[in-house]
Amino acid sequence: MNTLSIVIPALNEAENLPAVMASIPFAELKDGGWDTEVLVVDNGSTDGTGDIARTLGARVVSQPVRGYGNAYRAGFSAATGDVIATGDADRTYPFDALPRLLRTLVDHDVEFMTTNRLVGGNSEAMKPSHSLGNHVLSAISRVLFRNELRDSQSGMWVFRRYVWQRLDVRSGGMSFSQEIKNAATRAGYRYVEIPIEYRKRGGQVKLNAFRDGTENLRQLFEHNFRRTRPVLRPVVATVGPGYAAGQGYAGQGYADQGYSAQEFDSV
């Protein structure tokens, strides 16, 4: 049986958590060979988020130091699964897609999977200003880190736990999202970006576009010039025609590595 830890950071999401937990397809995951745990990281909530999470069957990790990255650090440290999956507690991410995402991870021997919210989905799920900011930050990220990721800010990832254990990721705030992707791709882990349906959130929006955008921009350049710690990892065999260990595939890169875009668009 494979082991999966679903890590969900939550700040005052008591209203949304029941729907989020209900969207996780536990039976389908079990049928697919996954022993699943859910960790909700209570990031200093004042609305009883932690209590609600416990009643819904989640394991609650307390992280009183607020910040998106701080919450994920605490959750990843507590996770026991060989594979970790993430998503926000605001109903925007399709946890019901996890069985298909996990099949892609396993079938193509992917080490780090991220998702793309900027294609398709609900047009009301993201403000135009946020969409524009995402495109700009993602374009800069592609230039600096030479990967093909189209959505550097997506918060839904599926990856091998050992990847996190070997990465040098320092952000405590929202820039954690782009940093973990850029760190994983730069370190040479096999990665893929999968289109998903992004949904309209429930409750209050907590993003501060100017503050978070400025911090993300600063972090991109700081990370690019950082002297990164070496990553110790075993050599991994090739997994497809024309695909060498350590290379990534995303966007048009699918075809370059022996896979068609259609394979991944159907996930």
The CATH class of the 2-265 domain is alpha beta
**Contact yes or no for 73/60 (Cβ under 8 A):** no
* Residue pLDDT, tens place only, 24-82: 999 999 999 999 999 999 999 999 999 999 999 999 999 999 999 999 999 999 999 99
Q: Would you call 170 exposed, middle or buried from its count of C-beta atoms within 10 A (0-12, 13-18, 19+)?
A: middle
**Confidence (pLDDT) at 227:** 66
Higher pLDDT, residue 14 or 121:
14
Average pLDDT, the chain: 86
Domain boundaries, the chain: 2-265
Report whether pLDDT(121) > 80. Answer: no
Lowest mean pLDDT among 85-89, 112-116, 152-156, 197-201: 197-201
Amino acid at 215: E
CA 62 to CA 77: how far, in whole Å? Answer: 12
Report whether pLDDT(256) > 50. Answer: no
